Amino acid sequence: MDPSRAALVVIDLQNGFVNHHSHHVVPAVQDLVTRWADAGRPVIFTRYFNHPGSPYERFFQWSRLQGPPETDIVQELAGQAAGAYATIDKAGYTLFTPEATELVRKAGWTDLLFCGVATESCVLKSAADAFEHGYAPKIVTDACASDAGPEVHEAGLLVARRLIGPRQLTTSADVMRELSAPCSAVVLE
């Protein structure tokens, strides 16, 4: 990871996705965001909106997350989201809306670290799309969860290893070690 060209992306930590299966990840993300931002690095939040007539309604008969309070960022992270580099609203799984694609390109980020909910869908799809767009994605495994339970979280990580590479899965501790590591000096002769 090149910390000087990296952004942390917090995926969909909204009231409608945080439940008894996923609430444990909120403090981990809160700590990661605090430490990342304190190092002067950019944080992006995403919010998912399930608009009426969406594929989620049509194919899953799922009509949740159509407005507040379900679509609101969880209280514990609301302040950090308000101070984030950007908040991207989306109507699908991925971070890569046209707005976000342009934002990442203009910012010059090469590395995108993903955390949040849900590992097997929005986190995985965003990381896979980052990979396909030529960015270096990392999934922070201890800072993401599935609202469908730990087995589904683990299934998402299994697929992620196949889609983006096993070394692209990391932990908060490893991210912080990389962030605080001194830059290598280049010796010119």
| pLDDT tens track, the chain, 189 positions | 898 999 999 999 999 999 999 999 999 999 999 999 999 999 999 999 999 999 999 999 888 989 899 999 999 999 999 999 999 999 999 999 999 999 999 999 999 999 999 999 999 999 999 999 999 999 999 999 999 999 999 999 999 999 999 999 999 999 999 988 765 444 344
Question: Which residues are CB-neighbours of 99 under 8 A, at least 6 positions away?
Answer: 88
3-180 placed in CATH 2.60.120.10: no
What pLDDT, on the 0 to 100 scale, is given for residue 135?
98
Contact 141, 170 (CB under 8 A): yes
pTM, two decimal places: 0.93
Total residue count of the chain as it appears in this document: 189
Q: Select from 44, 34, 50, 38 the least CA-distant residue to 6.
A: 44
Question: Which residues are CB-neighbours of 44 under 8 A, at least 6 positions away?
Answer: 7, 8, 9, 10, 84, 85, 86, 87, 88, 95, 100, 103
Look up residue 166 and give its DSSP letter: G
Query: Which stretches within the chain are classed as H helix?
Result: 25-38, 55-60, 75-82, 98-107, 124-132, 150-164, 172-180
